[in-house]
A = this chain, B = another copy of it.
Amino acid sequence: MTTPGRGLHGHVLDTLGPEITAGEYPPGSVLRTDELAQRFDVSRSVMREAVRVLESMHLVESRRRVGVTVRPTSEWNVYDPQVIRWRLAGKDRARQLRSLTVLRSAIEPVAAGLAARHATADQCAELTQCALGMVANSRGHKLEEYLVHDMAFHRVVLDASGNEMFARLGDVVAEVLAGRTHHDVMFEDPDPAAVTLHVQVAEAVRAGDAVRAEELTREITVGALQELDILAP
């Protein structure tokens, strides 16, 4: 993703991060830097760098004379893309997908409304292209091709909103969509109604109809929520 495994400390994080976020060390657990360094066969300097990163994500807290203690889940920086990825790869992937889908349902409609006001001509064109790509791959088990356009569509909407905080959720939404396609559901073709909604959103944004863009996007996200409810009511 963001060039993983860069350097030794990166390799340590690739293992230790998922372990912690998966809850293998319950909150309050104490780790010792020296032991970890031994375990991963790296020097203490490298291990310290890894701990610093975990600390900046609020996953752990390092205190003298006591060690590196795992913080409670409620304090983690759950918006850190790295943390999101670790958790999506872990045990409670389902719960995580639900949380993120609810987040989508709050953000994306508002973002679409803003996009209708602020989108450039280029962005409108790109949006239409994405929607067309979704239509073109909506039948015949071309899920991967569909997914690519779906992810691009939502990313463009978030970017076009002109709000930096929304724009930075593009990666998260992409992960959620990818997760849905690859692991959970979606054995068949996507819901035709959803495809239509995407086309209509593209049109509403192009027409500058903020209210309509927002409402249509809300329908899309409601659909995504219902999809999860059907799977795990």
Contacts of A36 in B (CB 8 A): none
Bound together, the chains give a CA A165 to CA B82 distance in angstroms of 15
Please state if B163 and A102 are interface contacts (CB–CB under 8 Å): yes
Query: In this assembly, does A228 line the interface, its C-beta being within 8 Å of a C-beta of chain B?
Result: no
Task: Please give me the residue from chain B that is nearest to A56 by CB atom.
Answer: B53
Contacts of A38 in B (CB 8 A): none
Bound together, the chains give a CA A110 to CA B57 distance in angstroms of 26
- Mark A residues whose CB is within 8 Å of B: 2, 9, 45, 48-50, 52-53, 55-58, 73-74, 76-82, 99-100, 102-103, 105-107, 109-111, 114, 163-168
Please state if A106 and B110 are interface contacts (CB–CB under 8 Å): yes
Please state if A167 and B106 are interface contacts (CB–CB under 8 Å): no
Task: Please give me the residue from chain B that is nearest to A159 by CB atom.
Answer: B74
Q: Known contacts A79-B79, A81-B77: does B165 contact A102 (CB below 8 Å)?
A: yes
Please state if B52 and A165 are interface contacts (CB–CB under 8 Å): no
Please state if B99 and A165 are interface contacts (CB–CB under 8 Å): yes
- Residue among A56, A58, A76 having the largest count of chain B Cβ atoms under 10 Å: A56
A9, chain B: closest CB distance, angstroms: 7
A67, chain B: closest CB distance, angstroms: 15
Contacts of A106 in B (CB 8 A): 106-107, 109-111, 166
Bound together, the chains give a CA A57 to CA B82 distance in angstroms of 10
A163, chain B: closest CB distance, angstroms: 5
Please state if B48 and A78 are interface contacts (CB–CB under 8 Å): no
Q: Which of B58, B103, B168 sits near A166, CB closer than 8 Å?
A: B103
Q: Known contacts A81-B77, A105-B110, A106-B107: does B52 contact A100 (CB below 8 Å)?
A: no
Bound together, the chains give a CA A2 to CA B80 distance in angstroms of 17
Contacts of A167 in B (CB 8 A): 74
Please state if B52 and A164 are interface contacts (CB–CB under 8 Å): no
Contacts of A163 in B (CB 8 A): 99, 102-103
Contacts of A164 in B (CB 8 A): 73-74, 78, 99
> Which 8 pairs across A and B sit closest by C-beta, in order of nearness?
A79-B79, A106-B110, A53-B56, A49-B52, A103-B165, A102-B163, A99-B165, A99-B164
